[in-house]
Structure 1
Amino acid sequence: MADIYFENMRLSSDREAVSDYEDISRKLHGYNMRATGGLLKEPGDSIHLYLKNEASEVVGGIFCETWLYGLYIDVFWIAEAYRSNGFGKYMLCEAERRGREAGCLFAHTSTFSYQAPSFYEKNGYDVYGINDLFPGEIKQYFLKKKF
């Protein structure tokens, strides 16, 4: 994309500007910290759990972050051969337990219609929003669970 000029400013799309990306991210984080009175970093723990088989191969994982007293489930995956055996529920419950232990008051996540909305609902999560603007029948579900 060519740069766009308006007034005395320039809008550019420089994918190589890693330092600019980091600078903007740092400034947004600073603003968010001030705007939340520091609550953004509470409790501030990462909860990463790995499911490993007998050969110590990673066959699943759940990666969560805690901020604003919430447990955010960012990544959750289990290899197909290990699904429907209760491992997902066990991993989710353990992540939630650790989140509560750290001081979280709720958990939240998003998932797509081709992923696991019913899994989360079976585990006590409520849908509070749906983005149905994707092509085909694909929908994104936003879910939450109060502890």
Structure 2
Amino acid sequence: MNDNLQEDLVISKDWTEEETKVVCDGLIKYNRRSSRPLDEQWSDTINLILKTKDDKVVGGIMCNMFMYSLYIDVLWVDEKYRGHDYGSKLIAGVEEIAKEKGCILVDTCTYSYQSPDFYVKCGYEIYGILEGFPEGIKKYHLKKVI
């Protein structure tokens, strides 16, 4: 750290999309420089959408691939269609694509009121539980080697 740096910096709660991109790009540049050779397979997005025959969206899964791992960010199936294996099929679909792209690990998190048991049924292992949320809610961190 440079102690001679005397610039006055300001922390602002106001931000633009461009400023957010500068921060994210800066982190990505640092990560790529620091994690060689893992940047050979760096990042990608894998999304699958569940639709009715008339194109109404009733579910989907949104994932980010990063350094040979896949992070499941969003998984949702409309309540009307739950319990019919659509969630499992969405997970299996992204896992297959991720594996084809060289991923070796999948991870995600979910809350106790959402679906930790569902992920366990899909072969995920709970590796951490974060407690301290109101009303006894817990956050589960899960992973699966693919």
| TM-score normalised by structure 1 residue count | 0.87
- Partner in structure 1 of residue 99 of structure 2: 100
- Partner in structure 2 of residue 88 of structure 1: 87
Letter in 2 for 1:120: Y
Report SS of the residue matched to 1:45: strand
Distance 1:23 1:46 in 2: 20
- Partner in structure 2 of residue 4 of structure 1: none
Comparing 75-84 with 22-31, greater Cα deviation is found at 22-31
- Partner in structure 1 of residue 3 of structure 2: none
- Is 1:137 aligned to 2:136, yes or no? yes
1:16 positional shift = 3.3
- Percent of paired sites with the same residue: 38
- Is 1:62 aligned to 2:71, yes or no? no
Report SS of the residue matched to 2:95: helix
Are 1:47 and 1:63, in contact at CA under 8 Å, matched by a contact in 2?
Answer: yes
Residues 51-92 of structure 1: CA deviation (Å, up to 9, x unaligned): 001221010000111111011111110100000011111111
Residues 85-122 of structure 1: CA deviation (Å, up to 9, x unaligned): 11111111111111111111011101111111000001
1:38 positional shift = 5.2
- Partner in structure 1 of residue 73 of structure 2: 74
Distance 1:127 1:63 in 2: 20
Distance 1:117 1:54 in 2: 30
Distance 1:17 1:85 in 2: 42
Runs of 4+ in 1 over 3 A off after TM superposition: 7-11, 16-20
1:24 positional shift = 1.9
| TM-score normalised by structure 2 residue count | 0.87
Comparing 42-51 with 135-144, greater Cα deviation is found at 42-51
Distance 2:12 2:37 in 1: 32
1:29 positional shift = 1.2
Aligned residues, how many? 141
Distance 1:63 1:37 in 2: 26
- Is 1:16 aligned to 2:22, yes or no? no
Letter in 2 for 1:50: I
Letter in 1 for 2:61: I
